Amino acid sequence: MKLTSFNEDDLIANVILLLENGRNAVLTQTNTIMTLTYFEIGKYIVEFEQQGKNRAEYAKKVLKNLSEKLTEKFGKGFTTRNLEYMRKFYLTYEKTKSLISQLPNEIFTLSWTHYLLLMRIANESERGFYEIEAHKQRWSVRELERQFNSSLYERLVLSKNKESILALSKEGQIIEKPEDLIKEPYILEFLGLDEKSEFAESELENAIINKIEKFMLELGKGFLFESRQKRITFDEDHYYIDLVLYNRILRCFVLIDLKIGKLKHQDLGQMQMYVNYYDRFVKLEDENPTIGIVLCKDKSNALVEITLPKDNNQIFATKYQLYLPDKEELKRQIENM
């Protein structure tokens, strides 16, 4: 970064930024190397066991001895349990071993703690999806766990066709058209609102604004926040859009209206009005058509289908819930697709 002035504060700020970037790069590289090292340790353990001396009691004794020697030389981090995790890590990702000599710094792009969580996922396609998304979206371990607990993979699978489902585990979530943004349902458990208690739409909106970062993560990729209660006026009447966002991937405005009860056809008509206004008076010529999402607690799919045009790709109604979903129930739904 080239200094544009001889201001001392600029000098200090630039040097600090340079050091921070350097340290972050070193940390990332170190995490990658250590993760690869743990994979290799797991490989040695598995290969040793495959020599024929893999009796359970003998294997435990070997791991115990190895743990003691490594702890004595390197300190913490090499308990018997951790060595068992390294063994499992190798067995889980063994299919990638042929690539390691070619791409040693690209096979494992996350931290060891991320992989400890990923190894809990038995479904290979689901695990691949979360690994890709965690890397692309730079999810922390806590965010990865939250996305897994909210059944993001299952929710996306239920909203896609078979061809798109196959791509999830290899490419992650791809945003190419408005429908790709939509999930069913959106999970808003982080708002801390009681599902059974009564609250107003303004309270739901306030809770979202207070947790706007988490809300944006739940919405998905490419979202930018513009405003809340955006006023639009025509014929001297004022209307207020709950949330106005912009998606930089699709290059379009995304309008969100919040409904605490069951969806009504008037709600869809109102959103159509908002979308028409933005398309005609707000969006630029090189931007794509506006998307409108009505977030509701309950809805009738038949009502949505009969209210909206057959070729609709701008207005969407989808449910939200204030608690984590039943993952097993979603899996059963996927099996019945």
Q: Express each pLDDT in 196-222 by its tens digit.
A: 778 899 999 999 999 999 999 999 999
HSE on the CB side for 271, CA within 13 Å? 32
Nearest to 193 by CA among 104, 323, 88: 323
- Which pair of tokens denotes residue 66? 């190895």
Q: In this predicted structure, what is the pLDDT of residue 23?
A: 67
| H-helix segments, the chain | 8-49, 56-74, 80-92, 97-100, 112-118, 124-136, 141-149, 152-158, 162-171, 201-210, 212-219, 265-281, 301-307, 327-335
pLDDT tens digits, residue range 257-306? 999 989 999 999 999 999 999 999 999 999 999 999 999 999 999 999 99
The boundaries of every CATH 3.40.1350.10 domain in the chain are 189-321
Do the beta carbons of residue 220 and residue 151 sit within 8 Å? no
Provide the CA 159 distance to its chain's centre, in angstroms. Answer: 16
Residues 275, 255 contacting (CB under 8 angstroms): yes
Query: How would CATH label the architecture of 189-321?
Result: 3-Layer(aba) Sandwich (3.40)
Contacts of 303 (CB under 8 A, 6+ apart): 263, 264, 265
Q: Tell me, what's the pLDDT at 101?
A: 45
Residue among 186, 226, 133 nearest 322 (CA): 186
Four-CA torsion 316, 294, 222, 168, nearest 10 degrees: -50
Specify the DSSP element, H or E, that contains 254.
strand 252-262
Instruction: Give the residues of the chain that fall short of pLDDT 70.
Output: 1-16, 18-19, 22-28, 52-56, 96-106, 161-163
* Per-residue confidence (pLDDT) for residue 56, from 0 to 100: 64
